[in-house]
Protein backbone atom coordinates (compact mmCIF):
# COMPACT_ATOMS: atom_id res chain seq x y z
CA UNK A 1 0.00 0.00 0.00
CA UNK A 2 1.52 3.36 -1.01
CA UNK A 3 2.22 5.74 1.89
CA UNK A 4 -0.37 8.41 0.89
CA UNK A 5 -3.06 5.74 0.61
CA UNK A 6 -2.12 4.38 4.01
CA UNK A 7 -2.28 7.88 5.53
CA UNK A 8 -5.65 8.56 3.90
CA UNK A 9 -7.02 5.22 5.11
CA UNK A 10 -5.86 5.93 8.66
CA UNK A 11 -7.39 9.42 8.61
CA UNK A 12 -10.73 8.17 7.28
CA UNK A 13 -10.76 5.36 9.86
CA UNK A 14 -10.04 7.86 12.64
CA UNK A 15 -13.02 9.85 11.33
CA UNK A 16 -15.15 6.72 11.70
CA UNK A 17 -13.86 6.11 15.23
CA UNK A 18 -14.40 9.65 16.54
CA UNK A 19 -17.69 10.26 14.76
CA UNK A 20 -19.07 6.88 15.86
CA UNK A 21 -17.90 7.50 19.42
CA UNK A 22 -19.74 10.83 19.50
CA UNK A 23 -22.90 9.55 17.84
CA UNK A 24 -23.28 6.34 19.82
CA UNK A 25 -22.32 7.75 23.21
CA UNK A 26 -24.81 10.57 22.65
CA UNK A 27 -27.44 8.04 21.56
CA UNK A 28 -26.89 5.91 24.67
CA UNK A 29 -26.92 8.95 26.96
CA UNK A 30 -29.92 10.42 25.07
CA UNK A 31 -28.48 13.82 25.85
CA UNK A 32 -26.04 16.01 23.90
CA UNK A 33 -22.95 16.78 26.01
CA UNK A 34 -20.11 19.15 25.09
CA UNK A 35 -17.63 16.30 24.62
CA UNK A 36 -19.96 14.75 22.02
CA UNK A 37 -19.65 17.97 20.05
CA UNK A 38 -15.85 17.73 20.28
CA UNK A 39 -16.04 14.15 18.97
CA UNK A 40 -18.24 15.27 16.03
CA UNK A 41 -15.81 18.05 15.06
CA UNK A 42 -12.80 15.74 15.47
CA UNK A 43 -14.41 13.10 13.24
CA UNK A 44 -15.30 15.75 10.68
CA UNK A 45 -11.74 17.13 10.61
CA UNK A 46 -10.25 13.66 10.19
CA UNK A 47 -12.74 13.00 7.37
CA UNK A 48 -11.85 16.25 5.59
CA UNK A 49 -8.13 15.46 5.98
CA UNK A 50 -8.54 11.93 4.66
CA UNK A 51 -10.73 13.08 1.79
CA UNK A 52 -8.20 15.77 0.84
CA UNK A 53 -5.36 13.22 0.94
CA UNK A 54 -7.32 10.87 -1.32
CA UNK A 55 -8.16 13.75 -3.66
CA UNK A 56 -4.45 14.49 -4.04
CA UNK A 57 -3.88 10.90 -5.19
CA UNK A 58 -6.86 10.78 -7.57
CA UNK A 59 -6.29 10.60 -11.28
CA UNK A 60 -8.33 12.96 -13.39
CA UNK A 61 -10.39 16.00 -12.47
CA UNK A 62 -12.84 16.33 -9.59
CA UNK A 63 -16.12 14.81 -10.85
CA UNK A 64 -19.15 15.50 -8.67
CA UNK A 65 -21.25 13.20 -10.87
CA UNK A 66 -19.22 10.13 -9.85
CA UNK A 67 -21.34 8.24 -7.30
CA UNK A 68 -18.60 7.94 -4.65
CA UNK A 69 -17.70 11.62 -4.98
CA UNK A 70 -21.33 12.69 -4.78
CA UNK A 71 -22.17 10.57 -1.73
CA UNK A 72 -18.90 11.63 -0.09
CA UNK A 73 -19.68 15.32 -0.61
CA UNK A 74 -23.22 14.90 0.71
CA UNK A 75 -21.86 13.11 3.78
CA UNK A 76 -19.18 15.76 4.42
CA UNK A 77 -21.65 18.63 4.17
CA UNK A 78 -24.13 16.79 6.41
CA UNK A 79 -21.35 16.16 8.96
CA UNK A 80 -20.46 19.85 8.86
CA UNK A 81 -24.09 20.92 9.34
CA UNK A 82 -24.49 18.33 12.11
CA UNK A 83 -21.39 19.51 14.00
CA UNK A 84 -22.42 23.15 13.57
CA UNK A 85 -25.96 22.49 14.79
CA UNK A 86 -24.64 20.37 17.69
CA UNK A 87 -22.41 23.28 18.71
CA UNK A 88 -25.38 25.64 18.70
CA UNK A 89 -27.63 23.23 20.63
CA UNK A 90 -24.88 22.53 23.16
CA UNK A 91 -24.30 26.24 23.78
CA UNK A 92 -27.78 27.73 23.48
CA UNK A 93 -30.31 24.96 22.96
CA UNK A 94 -33.09 23.94 25.30
CA UNK A 95 -33.00 20.80 27.43
CA UNK A 96 -35.56 19.34 25.05
CA UNK A 97 -33.26 20.04 22.06
CA UNK A 98 -30.29 18.45 23.84
CA UNK A 99 -32.26 15.33 24.71
CA UNK A 100 -33.68 14.86 21.19
CA UNK A 101 -30.56 15.66 19.17
CA UNK A 102 -29.44 12.00 18.99
CA UNK A 103 -32.10 11.24 16.36
CA UNK A 104 -30.48 13.63 13.87
CA UNK A 105 -27.02 12.32 14.78
CA UNK A 106 -27.90 8.74 13.96
CA UNK A 107 -29.37 9.66 10.56
CA UNK A 108 -26.26 11.65 9.57
CA UNK A 109 -24.00 8.82 10.77
CA UNK A 110 -25.91 6.24 8.71
CA UNK A 111 -25.66 8.43 5.60
CA UNK A 112 -21.92 8.91 6.27
CA UNK A 113 -21.41 5.14 6.24
CA UNK A 114 -22.44 4.93 2.57
CA UNK A 115 -19.30 6.60 1.15
CA UNK A 116 -17.15 5.06 3.90
CA UNK A 117 -18.04 1.49 2.94
CA UNK A 118 -18.30 2.43 -0.74
CA UNK A 119 -14.70 3.64 -0.67
CA UNK A 120 -13.63 0.49 1.14
CA UNK A 121 -15.37 -1.65 -1.50
CA UNK A 122 -13.78 0.33 -4.33
CA UNK A 123 -10.35 -0.05 -2.74
CA UNK A 124 -10.71 -3.82 -2.49
CA UNK A 125 -11.92 -4.24 -6.08
CA UNK A 126 -9.32 -2.31 -8.04
CB proximity list for 77: less than 8 A, separation 6 or greater: none
Task: Identify the CA nearest to 88 among candidates 76, 110, 104.
Answer: 104
- 16, 95 in Cβ contact below 8 A? no
Q: pTM here?
A: 0.87
Q: Is the predicted pLDDT of residue 4 greater than 60, yes or no?
A: yes
pLDDT tens-place string over residues 31-44: 999 999 999 999 99
**Cβ distance 39 to 21 under 8 Å?**
yes
- Does residue 63 contact residue 69 with C-beta atoms inside 8 Å? yes
Give tens-digit pLDDT for 37-84. 999 999 999 999 998 998 888 777 777 787 778 888 999 999 999 999
Residue 65 has what DSSP assignment?
T
Amino acid sequence: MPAPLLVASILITLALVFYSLGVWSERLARYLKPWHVVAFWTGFLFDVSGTWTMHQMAEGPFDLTAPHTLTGQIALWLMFAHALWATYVSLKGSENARSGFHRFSLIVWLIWLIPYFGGMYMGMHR
